[in-house]
Structure 1
Amino acid sequence: MSSVWAKKVNSSKSGFILSTRASLSRASIVGGALGFPRIRLPTKYLGMPLYKGPKKSFLWDDLTSRIAARMEGGEAKVLSPGGRITILKSILTSMPLYLLHVIVPPKSVMCRIERLFNKFLWSAKGQRRIHWECWEDLCYPVEEGVLGMRRLQDLVNAARMEGGGGS
């Protein structure tokens, strides 16, 4: 006895993207045939910004605001420096991993996120403190006497299996 699983497309979650040069009549024909609305770029798909043309840093504001919100939580204000390091290594640097494996954000976005990381590391009880080291200097292995943090550019290079680091 075999059962057939009918899979249907959820039209409320679906859409189509056409070239910007496509005519309105073509868009209405495609939309009528598919039953989906037309989506215009820029948009998001699975949390990833989709756009055409040069990299646009404002499309990454959602990611940076989620990271900033995670850092401003109530538990973050009472963490010891060791706790902050652990949160940075385990949670905060892994938040953008999916997107970094799929698409490379503009360098300005990676710098903005790393500035947030550095601010989180050096602040205490919600107060700003002196940043004793820049983020780049903290991203060397622990064996070299540093904290062993990860630079976002290194994560991008690793995802793309590229050698070299930095800018």
Structure 2
Amino acid sequence: MSPFLFVLVMEANLQKSNLILSRSATPLRDTLLAILDFQEGHLPLRYLGLPLLASRLSVADCRPILQKIEARIRGWDGIVLSFAGRVQLIKSVLSALQVYWAMAFILPKHVIKEIEKRLRNFLWKGSIETGYAKVSWKQVCRPVNEGGLGIRDIHALNKSLMSRHLWRLIAQERSSIWVNWIFHYRLQHYSVWTISTRSGTWGWRKLIRLRDSLRPCITYRIGDGTSFSFLGTVNFIKSKKAPYIHN
């Protein structure tokens, strides 16, 4: 850690630092704790406002999102808001509260439904209490020029934000530590298009399954061929670019 701290001219805060050990490192536990002088931490814990997990993201883990939305809505109690005012608050404030999470996790469907429920109640009732919906939420989330209110579809937004991580792998952004780790540990001899969606952690499986939605948006420039695998990308080419390869 010393070169890292030297470059950043920083010192580790021992009160805020934790050492989390895997089972394989258990024999070194006492030695590492003595050298680093850190407290021992255990998953799950929170880092930069998000949960650090060794398992799938649960509804309980996402409770802070729902609590923030409820707190905002309750904070507007007693304020007379027009329908247009509530629409604007949903667009500019409430819809933004889960974006930070949506950039890091594929949110459980139940959590998305609970978020939409609170936004829907606020839109029609002005509170978190259940109100009568005059129009379906799907219609509300359509663009204004298509008859909707232009409120973001949370599921589509989450999918779009998470697809960015796949794009970084496809573009091979080697300046990213995460991308390098994925290539070394997960992909190895595979590509984003060929690796199985049945292996790996829950989050990885969910992420890699988003690749189908990216296929129509991808065009490869082969160049000198050093970073392009014809065999690894043949299914993509067959289905989207060169049908004659089937034969």
Q: TM-score range by the shorter chain?
A: 0.7 to 0.9
Q: What CA deviation, in whole Å up to 9, does each residue of 1:98-119 have, x standing for no partner?
A: 1111222211111111111111
Give the TM-score normalised by the residue count of structure 2. 0.58
Over 3 Å counting, the alpha-carbon distance change for 1:152 and 1:126 in structure 2 is closer
Residues in 1 aligned to 2:128 and 2:101: alpha-carbon distance in whole angstroms:
29
> Secondary structure of 2:103's match?
helix
User: Deviation of residue 5 (structure 1)?
Assistant: 7.4
Question: What code does the residue aligned with 1:89 have?
Answer: K
Residues 71 and 120 in structure 1, CA contact (< 8 A), matched pair in contact too: yes
Residue 13 (1) aligns with residue 10 (2): no
How far does the alpha carbon of each residue in 1:58-81 deviate from its partner, in whole angstroms, 9 at most, with x for none? 011111101110011135742111
The root-mean-square deviation of aligned C-alpha atoms, in Å, is 2.3
Alignment partners' CA distance in 1, 2:73 and 2:99? 17
Is residue 73–residue 128 contact of structure 2 (8 Å, CA) maintained in 1? no
Distance of aligned partners of 1:21 and 1:116 in 2 relative to their CA distance in 1, 3 Å threshold: farther
Change (3 A) 1:67 1:137: same
Higher helix share: 2
Aligned-partner SS, 2:12: coil
CA distance in 1, matches of 2:12, 2:124: 48
Quickly say closer, same or farther: Cα 1:39–1:125, change in 2 above 3 A: closer
Q: What is the Cα deviation at residue 128 of structure 1?
A: 4.7
Instruction: Indicate the percent of aligned positions where both proteins have the same amino acid.
Output: 30
Q: Which runs of 5+ in 1 are unaligned?
A: none
CA distance in 1, matches of 2:116, 2:125: 14
Q: Alpha-carbon deviations, 1:118-157, whole Å to 9, x = none?
A: 1111114776531112322211110011111111111112
2:102 aligned partner: 100
Counterpart amino acid of residue 49 in structure 1? P
Correspondences of 1:1-167 after superposition (within 5 Å): 6-20=9-23, 22-23=25-26, 25-74=27-76, 77-124=79-126, 128-159=130-161, 160-161=163-164, 163=213
Q: CA separation in 1, counterparts of 2:84 and 2:95?
A: 16
Structure-2 separation of matches of 1:74 and 1:116: 14
Match of 2:231 in 1: none
Query: Could you report, residue by residue, the CA deviation over 1:4-62 in whole angstroms, capped at 9, with x for unpaired residues?
Result: 97421111111122124643x53232222211112111111111111122331101111
Partner Cα distance (1:106, 1:125) in 2: 24
Q: Which runs of 5+ in 2 are unaligned?
A: 1-6, 165-209, 215-247
* TM norm structure 1: 0.84
Give the letter for the 1:119 counterpart.
Answer: N
| CA contact 1:93–1:150 (8 Å) conserved in 2 | yes
Deviation larger for 53-62 or 67-76: 67-76
Q: How many pairs were matched up?
A: 160
